């Protein structure tokens, strides 16, 4: 089975600064997707960014970007110009291609300091 | 609807009781998923429906848990003889075929006392 590991239970960042959240995963599959989800207190999982394993180029969505290292099975999330609204739990997730279920890490709680 | 709707938002029940949790997916989404998120953990897969049938129920922890989707839209997760260890947030998600548009609801927080 696939496993996803987030080794940082908590992180904090000053407003307007940059923070990087770490994620590693274990799989024997060659084709898959990786995701970062944000979960605010409302509990809804909100997609932040997605990466297809076959793409070498790192995904970017506005202030959010990833560093995808396929050989190292590493998938970190960089948040630039951090805003107060970025404070939330962040989950790294894996999904096979094709596949229907997500495998999630244990999450990183991000605090943004004004 | 515009999003995935889950009711109730919160449910408190006594140990040994039966509960039903409802999920109303996005209109047109044929795939529906249930996950369980225990305190301090990420969501864990329970079951996946494609249309009316359960295509993968490998995540259901035991036979006290059952889910249905009789008309291919609304789904109900049913838990019999609840135990304190069943306390968690139960998340539902829906998507188009192939996982496109995968959208989560806000979950039901179940507390068994």
Q: Of A50, A64, A54, which is closest to residue A92 (Cα–Cα)?
A: A50
What's the pLDDT score for residue A100?
A: 83
Name the percent of chain A in helix, strand, coil, to the closest 5: 5, 55, 45
More confident residue, B100 or B63: B63
A95 in contact with B, Cβ within 8 Å = yes
CB B8 within 8 A of CB B109: no
- Blockwise average pLDDT, block size 10, chain A, 114 residues: 93 98 95 96 94 93 97 97 98 90 96 98
Give contacts of B30 with chain A, Cβ < 8 Å: none
How far is it, in rounded angstroms, from Cα B89 to Cα A78? Answer: 28
How far is it, in rounded angstroms, from Cα B48 to Cα B58? Answer: 9
How far is it, in rounded angstroms, from Cα A52 to Cα B106? Answer: 26
Q: In sequence order, which residues have a C-beta less than 8 Å from that of residue A86 and are 6 or more positions away?
A: A38, A79, A110, A112
Tens of pLDDT, residues A56-72: 899 999 999 999 999 99
More confident residue, B97 or B113: B113
* Residue A40, min C-alpha distance to chain B (Å): 10
What's the pLDDT score for residue A53?
A: 93
Partner-chain residue, chosen from A46, A99, A104, that has the shortest CB–CB distance to B43? A104
CB A20 within 8 A of CB A76: yes
Q: In sequence order, which residues have a C-beta less than 8 Å from that of residue B59 and are 6 or more positions away?
A: A101, B44, B45, B46, B47
CA A56 to chain centre: 17
Partner-chain residue, chosen from B33, B48, B106, that has the shortest CB–CB distance to A44? B106
What's the pLDDT score for residue B99?
A: 79
What's the pLDDT score for residue B1?
A: 55
A101 in contact with B, Cβ within 8 Å = yes
pLDDT at B74 over 70: yes
Tens of pLDDT, residues B25-49: 999 999 999 999 999 999 999 999 9
Interface of A with B in 35-94 (CB under 8 A): 42-47, 91, 93
A107 in contact with B, Cβ within 8 Å = yes
Number of Cβ within 10 Å of residue B91's Cβ equals 25
Give contacts of A7 with chain B, Cβ < 8 Å: none
Number of Cβ within 10 Å of residue B113's Cβ equals 10
């Amino acid at each position: 089975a696939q496993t996803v590991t987030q080794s940082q239970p908590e992180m904090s960042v000053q407003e307007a600064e940059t923070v990087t959240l770490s994620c590693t995963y274990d799989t024997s599959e060659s084709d898959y997707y990786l995701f970062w989800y944000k979960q605010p207190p409302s509990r809804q999982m909100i997609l932040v960014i997605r990466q297809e394993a076959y793409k070498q180029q790192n995904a970017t969505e506005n202030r959010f970007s990833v560093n995808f290292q396929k050989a190292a099975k590493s998938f970190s999330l960089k948040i630039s110009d951090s805003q107060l609204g970025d404070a939330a739990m962040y989950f790294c997730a894996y999904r096979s291609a094709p596949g229907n279920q997500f495998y999630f890490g244990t999450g990183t709680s991000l605090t943004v300091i004004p | 609807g515009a999003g995935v709707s889950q009711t109730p938002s919160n449910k408190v029940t006594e140990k040994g009781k039966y509960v039903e949790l409802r999920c109303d997916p996005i209109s047109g989404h044929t795939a529906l998923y249930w996950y369980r998120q225990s305190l301090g953990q990420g969501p864990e897969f329970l079951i996946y429906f494609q249309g009316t049938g359960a295509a993968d129920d490998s995540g259901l922890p035991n036979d006290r848990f059952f889910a249905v989707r009789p008309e291919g839209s609304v789904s109900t997760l049913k838990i019999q003889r609840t135990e304190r260890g069943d306390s968690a947030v139960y998340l539902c998600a829906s998507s188009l075929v192939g996982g496109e548009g995968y959208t989560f609801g806000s979950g039901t927080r179940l507390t068994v006392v």
